[in-house]
Amino acid sequence: MSLRSAPLAVEAPERARDGLFTPEIRAQIDAHVAKYPPEWKQSAVMPALTLVQEWNGGWLTRELMDDVAAYLDMPPVAVYEVATFYGMYDLEPVGRHKIGVCNSVSCLLCGSEDLIHHVERKYGVRPGETTADGRFTFKEVECLGACRHAPAVLVGKTYHECLTPEALDKLIEELD
Amino acid sequence: MTDKLSIEIDGRVCEASPGEMIIAVADREGIAIPRFCYHKKLSIAANCRMCLVEAEQGGRPFPKPVPACATPVAAGMKVLTRSPKALEAQRGTMEFLLINHPLDCPICDQGGECELQDVAMGYGGDVSRYSEGKRVVKDEDLGPLVATDMTRCIHCTRCVRFGAEIAGVRELGATGRGEDMRIGTFVAHTLTHELSGNIIDLCPVGALTSKPFRFKARSWELTQAEGIAPHDAVGSNLHLHLRGNQVMRVHPKDNEAVNETWISDRDRFSYEGLASPDRLTEPMIKEDGAWRPIGWQDALIRVAERLKTASADQIGTLIAPTATLEEMYLAQKLTRGLGATAVDSRLRQQDFRGDAADPPLPWLGVPIAELETRDAVLLIGSDIRQEQPLLAHRLRKAALGGAGIVLVNPLPLELTFPAQQLVTSAAGMLGELAAIAKALRKRGSGSVKDLIAQANPTDRHTSAAERLKAAGTERSGLILLGALAAAHPDYTLLKALAYVIAEATGSTVGYLPLAANSAGAYLAGALPHVLPGARPGEAIGADARAMLVTARKAYVLWGVEPSYDFANPSLAATALGSADLVVAATAFRAPSLEAVADLMLPIAAFAETSGTFVNAEGTWQRFQGAVAPPGEARPGWKVLRVLGNLCDLPGFEYADSGEIHQELATLCAEVRPDNAPRGDLKVEPSLAEAGLMRVGTLPIYRTDPLVRRAAALQRTPGADVFAVGLNPALAADVGLADGELAVIRQGKAEARAAVVLDAALPPDVALIPSGVTGSEALGEQIGPVAVAKA
């Protein structure tokens, strides 16, 4: 028996799943759950967290993580593990947009540090912080997989490559 | 595929089974491979990388060192654990592990018995090349049992895997990533699982240590003695760690047949009770309502004289089921020697109508280790996790292996394994079992015939019946009767129904003995209907309940605390209070004892006396006293020996407890555990279907006087909470809201407690625990009750 094959939890005391999230989100999570064998509902935890985070305005509360755990029959701590491991989940309130600058080696060599320092100076936010006007949350992220066009920045869901501080400024100005 | 194959480790040819990991073979051969994350009882994580070894297969070396814990053996494999390449890899891993590990060994409780220290000495470099800042991790409060120092954590994840795989409750997790990874609950909360103390042993470093033991002693100051756990019927094997004359802590001793490598928190932390200020340290006598010390000689002469002059039919001996076999044997020998027949150790039972038909030596029905290989288990009246934590773990293993577990209980349980729970009223338990019997097309005979005829099996009964029947054809079905069944007013009928179902399905019937030596009571004859050697007595004496219902003039209480150790404490208080003489041999003073006793004799507690416990599977486990009892307290067998002599009874000339053991062992030489009933009894159900019934569970840390005085265990959440659990519908009927104070009445007995609403409770059950502070004045553990607004 390994950790992987051990049932992570016993049947949780029946919690009203119908009341969780919205019917649309439940349907979308169910579509992901359907991709896996029935006893592996927990495999859908990442898409479920992504869906719920978007619904909640870009971040996850502990209650929402607990709800995801209940919805997928997982122990809550297993959901926290996933949500704290991956950079795309935010556990604190965020701005209207998210800007993630890659800090991994290729981007670092090609000037992502300049981008980070530039944002810090010009907008007064350190990685992990949100601008005072709530326009964006600034994040350092691990490798975006866009090394050939480093440095890369993720704005919302869009990749921007070969960026200079000026080009990044332009991108930020376009945000509402 | 099951053929053995041979591999070579460090030039030694070793036999191995296909699929085994290198480290398992090396461990068996006694070849040391360093490791942190690997543990034989846990899944393989291979995340510490400490066990890297060099290996080659078919003359071709693996390109890199391989982790011995995650590399399966293959025929002809050659492994080198101490080659330059392996040592280099191990030294490299060690250096990385030490980067973030603080150098606080001098103030670390693990210092001196730390796997990291040991392995760093054996396999690490002697100088650190790392001069940057180290990581610091905030500590978490995991409750009163486990102390944390998470900065010391090396992320082996043994504790996390223990939670997921052994405990079945994932309380700990590894959150964050890389440098920020930490082990914790994320949302601060207390560990509540009854086996959680085992993570202290699992933790290879000082991140998780014992909180009660914290800063009390260094490991090299301790000496080690062996012991047997004195609480549940598993009889876990223990290592007692002593300094001077004090038990400083308790660790498990490996015994695959009994406790594997685990012990329950109750077994681990109850030693704290030994140092309780309640300890009775000298014999005491009550004169004009005041207690004064009295010498042993004087005390025993007085006891003997008064016992000799008491009329034999007026003597009642009540022995705690945690007494040793030797104590039980001598106590009954003394009682019977005086001509009395009233001796009992089943203090929490109220239905004794089955005594004449009872099996001669009830036991678990199967060896403990075989619990986990059962295909179907029907548990009747057992809050198994609270009663027998390690048997619950065995059942969990069976359930995860696909066994069907069905429980018939008057309350819903929070289990750590999948099971079918048939939750019904206390009286309804008979109906549920009868329905299962009827689903098996069994008519039954005698007293259960009507019950079965009236039953209406539904799908769940049919499925439970089929599960048992399927398992029965493989001889691997088991029906277990637990402590709630034993406390049930219709225990006799529950037993009778269990036998009907067992016969119809080919299953085995087993008993979950209540306490450490409940099974031993049958061997020692500490029962009104059983003589030593588990021989049926000719005349059945008064049982524990009859002795109290018809009050006696003289009582001998052995290790009993009247307020908490009886099924009906108010009845006990009345009966004992009206007696002319109550002699209490006890390790602890207690208000309820001082109120009724005339003489208190201090006896040795757990770890202070030699003795024998017979566990659920019938294994005799003998142990020696590890420390001396405090003050004037003496081992119980010595007290009884002198008392026997002073009463001029023959056969009390023992030089040591070994002689008593030997005498009893000779009497029991031919005795084998046997659950076959000796007869059939016609008894009527004593419980009416209607009416509110108290269901008195016995919380895990309230089972005996020792554990009730273990400070840290008492601080765990829910350890000692007196409350009334009610179904919301019922509470609404009597006008009680959640948290409101209710008055509980059982006949004349009365108590007050807050209401806790629980929609999962059956509508006619009032869940009122016994053994907890506040429950002293109440009546039967399971019996009619009235609840009203206070």
> DSSP of B503-554, one letter per residue?
HHHTPEEEE--SSTTHHHHHHHT-BTTEETTTEEPSS----HHHHHHS--SE
Q: Please tell me whether residues A24 and A81 are part of one structural domain.
A: yes
CB contact under 8 A, A7 and B187: no
CA angle B597, B601, B604 (to 5 degrees): 130
- The B residues from 394 to 453 touching A (CB cutoff 8 Å) are 400, 414-418
Asked if residue A91 belongs to a domain, the reply is no
Task: Identify the residue among B44, B137, B183, B187 best suited for mutation to test binding to A, counting A beta carbons within 10 A and taking the highest.
Answer: B187
Chain A residues with CB-CB distance to B164 below 8 A:
3, 6, 8, 75
| Strand positions, DSSP E, chain A | 97-102, 136-141, 153-155, 158-160
Using a CB-CB cut-off of 8 Å, the residues of chain A touching B759 are none
Q: Are residues A78 and A126 in the same domain?
A: no
Q: Does B170 lie at the interface with A, CB-CB under 8 angstroms?
A: yes
Provide the shortest C-alpha distance from residue B260 to chain A (in Å): 16
User: Is A10 in contact with B43 (Cβ distance < 8 A)?
Assistant: no
A101 and A70 within one domain = no
The nearest alpha carbon in chain A to B413 belongs to A13
For chain A, say whether B72 makes contact (Cβ under 8 Å): no
Same domain, A15 and A55: yes
Instruction: Identify whether residues A101 and A122 lie together within a single domain.
Output: yes
Q: pLDDT tens digits for chain A (176 residues)?
A: 334 444 444 445 556 777 788 899 999 999 999 999 988 888 999 999 999 999 999 999 999 999 999 999 888 999 999 999 998 999 999 999 999 999 999 999 999 999 999 999 999 999 999 999 999 999 999 999 999 998 999 999 899 999 999 999 999 998 88
The predicted pLDDT at position B230 comes to 95
In a domain, A20, yes or no: yes
Residues A8 and A57 in one domain: yes
User: What does the pLDDT read at residue A10?
Assistant: 45
Q: Cα(B735)–Cα(B732) distance, rounded to whole angstroms?
A: 5
Residue A75 lies in a domain: yes
Who among B45, B164, B173 is closest to A6 (CB)? B164
Q: Using CA atoms, how far apart are residues B396 and B415, in angstroms rounded to an integer?
A: 9
Q: Are B206 and B111 in contact (CB under 8 A)?
A: yes
Same domain assignment for residues A59 and A111: no
Whether residues A101 and A76 fall in one domain: no
What are the strands of the beta sheet with A136-141, ordered from one edge? Answer: A136-141, A97-102, A153-155, A158-160
Range of the domain at A166: 97-173
Is residue A90 one of the residues assigned to a domain?
A: no
The answer, yes or no, to whether residue B207 has pLDDT greater than 70, is: yes
Residues A77, A124: one domain?
no
**Among candidate residues A85, A109, A127, the one where a domain is terminated:** A85
> What pLDDT does B689 receive?
63
Interface touch B164/A4, C-beta < 8 Å: no
Residue A49 maps to which CATH number? 1.10.10.1590
The verdict on a CB contact (< 8 Å) between B175 and A1 is no
Residues A7 and A81 in one domain: yes
A92 part of a folded domain = no
Please tell me the total count of domains within chain A: 2
Residues B569 and B778 sit within 8 Å (Cβ to Cβ): yes
Say if CB B154 and CB B116 are below 8 A apart.
Answer: yes
Flag if B173 and A81 touch (Cβ within 8 Å): yes
- Between positions 67 and 86 of A, the ones with CB within 8 A of B are 75-78, 80-81, 84-86
Closest approach of B17 to chain A, Cα-based (Å)? 17
Task: Give the pLDDT score at B356.
Answer: 85
Residue B186 pLDDT class (50, 70, 90 cuts) = confident
Q: Tell which of A85, A113, A145 closes a domain.
A: A85
Out of B170, B185, B187, the one facing A78 most closely (by C-beta) is B170
End-to-end Cα separation, chain A, in angstroms: 52
Read off the pLDDT of residues B89-120 as tens digits, 9 standing for 90 and up.
Answer: 999 999 999 999 999 999 999 999 999 999 99
**Which one of A8, A66, A84 makes the best mutation probe of the B interface by having the most chain B beta carbons within 10 Å?**
A84
A42 lies in a domain? yes
From chain B, the residues in CB contact with A2 under 8 A are 43-44
Question: Cα-flanking dihedrals φ and ψ of residue B405, to 5°?
Answer: -115, 125
CATH of the domain at A111: 3.40.30.10
The answer as to whether A159 is a domain residue is yes
Same domain, A108 and A151: yes
Whether the Cβ atoms of residue B313 and residue B541 lie closer than 8 Å to each other:
no
Amino acid letter for position B595: A
Contact B175 A84 (CB under 8 A): yes
Torsion of CA B255, B261, B265, B266, to 10 degrees: 0
Q: Are residues A66 and A105 in the same domain?
A: no
Nearest neighbour of B174 by CB, restricted to A11, A75, A81: A81
Rounded (10°) CA dihedral B263, B269, B271, B276: -160
In a domain, A9, yes or no: yes
> Would you say B433 and B494 are in contact if contact means Cβ atoms under 8 Å apart?
yes
Which pLDDT does position A14 carry in this prediction?
54
Among residues A85, A106, A141, the one where a domain terminates is: A85
Q: Encode pLDDT of B645-699 as tens digits.
A: 999 999 999 999 999 999 999 999 988 888 888 877 777 777 666 689 999 999 9
Q: Looking at the partner chain, which of B186, B416, B760 has a beta carbon nearest the beta carbon of A10?
A: B416
What's the pLDDT tens digit per position in B328-350?
999 999 999 999 999 999 999 99
**Chain B CB contacts of A13 below 8 Å:** 414, 760
